[in-house]
Structure 1
Amino acid sequence: MSKPDNAGVKIPPPLCFLAFLAVGILLDSAWIDSRLSSNYLTILGGVIAVLSAIYLFVAARKHNTAGSNVEPWKPTTTIISDGAYKYSRNPIYLAMAVLYAGIAIAAGSWLAVILLPFCLVVIRYYVIAREEAYLEDKFGKEYLDYKARVRRWL
């Protein structure tokens, strides 16, 4: 039996971020009380969220232009090492984390902000670890060289 040509990720990363964010917002936020957070937090969080959403879109689009899949449960066809991938091996997860933080700030949910590191631990050990093992196995030295040059997050 041959190994599947994917990282074997069991948790869709956007759903992981969304689950932690939803718990934080539902248990502690201005939004759950049907009101906005302070103007300052709403604007700050909104700007952070919009900028990170743009960065997320650009990083995800890079997969399409490179002819690879963005979904971690589909085969990776190439190592992308330019654009955002020149500075981070995981710019999409980085953008998702910053987007999460922006939404949590805009919602005035300090619980969601506190939960973000726990979400990142899940992403790191249950998503990124599987992806890195898969990429090392599939691309060997090419990926190991890339991994040595570029940090995981920033």
Structure 2
Amino acid sequence: MSTRQDRVLLPPPLIYLIFVALAWALAELLPLPLAENDWTRYFGWGLIDAGILLAAWSALALTQHDTTLNPYKKPKRLLQRGPFRYSRNPIYLGFTLIYAGIGLLLHSWWPWLLLPLLILVMNRAVIVHEEAVLERLFGDAYRRYRARVRRWL
């Protein structure tokens, strides 16, 4: 039976959506404007596109290797190929790029001010749980992978 610390509190996409909503609400209530120009729009959409591609590539790699995308389910294998060669959490990195792109499109400093808190929440509420599960399931193989590949980049 799992304990509270063994469970993800909220689904990761929901955590990102909550932070986008919070940034948007703060931008509306307490404006901290960021420059609005073609560069912020192009770069914002570029980050969104890059994030979608990275998350999709990562999800495809997981499904091709017959393991789960769902952080609530037990993974069947430790994936170390594709985007997982560069980041232990490429899907969350992709979500973060999407968040940053949305932040530029909101033309507000709020998403950037909230970004460290978002990373902290992801690390403590999601990633630490997933790392504990992977270490329990894959032991030394996961520890070697963790020593070789960084959590984010």
Q: Shared fold (TM-score greater than 0.5)?
A: yes
Gap regions ≥5 residues in structure 2: none
Q: Which residue in the other structure is 1:49 paired with?
A: 48
Q: Secondary structure of the residue that 1:57 maps to in structure 2?
A: helix
Alignment of 1:73-112 (within 5 A): 73-112=72-111
RMSD between aligned residues = 1.7
Cα deviation for residue 51 of structure 1 reads 1.5
Q: 1:139 is aligned with what amino acid? A: F
Asked if the contact 1:45–1:103 (Cα under 8 Å) also holds between the matched residues in 2, the reply is: yes
Cα deviation for residue 149 of structure 1 reads 1.1
Q: How many angstroms apart in 1 are the aligned matches of 2:126 and 2:44?
A: 26
Q: Which residue in the other structure is 1:137 paired with?
A: 136
Q: Secondary structure of the residue that 1:27 maps to in structure 2?
A: helix
Cα deviation for residue 61 of structure 1 reads 1.2
1:52-87 per-residue CA deviation (whole Å, 9 max, x = no partner) reads 111111111111001000110111110000111001
Cα deviation for residue 45 of structure 1 reads 0.4
Q: How many angstroms apart in 1 are the aligned matches of 2:120 and 2:103?
A: 18
Aligned length, in residue pairs: 145
Cα deviation for residue 3 of structure 1 reads 5.0
Q: How many angstroms apart in 2 are the aligned matches of 1:22 and 1:74?
A: 27
Cα deviation for residue 114 of structure 1 reads 1.0
Q: Which residue in the other structure is 1:17 paired with?
A: 16
For normalisation by structure 1, the TM-score amounts to 0.88
For normalisation by structure 2, the TM-score amounts to 0.88
Cα deviation for residue 48 of structure 1 reads 1.1
Q: How many angstroms apart in 2 are the aligned matches of 1:54 and 1:45?
A: 14
Aligned pair 1:126/2:125, yes or no? yes
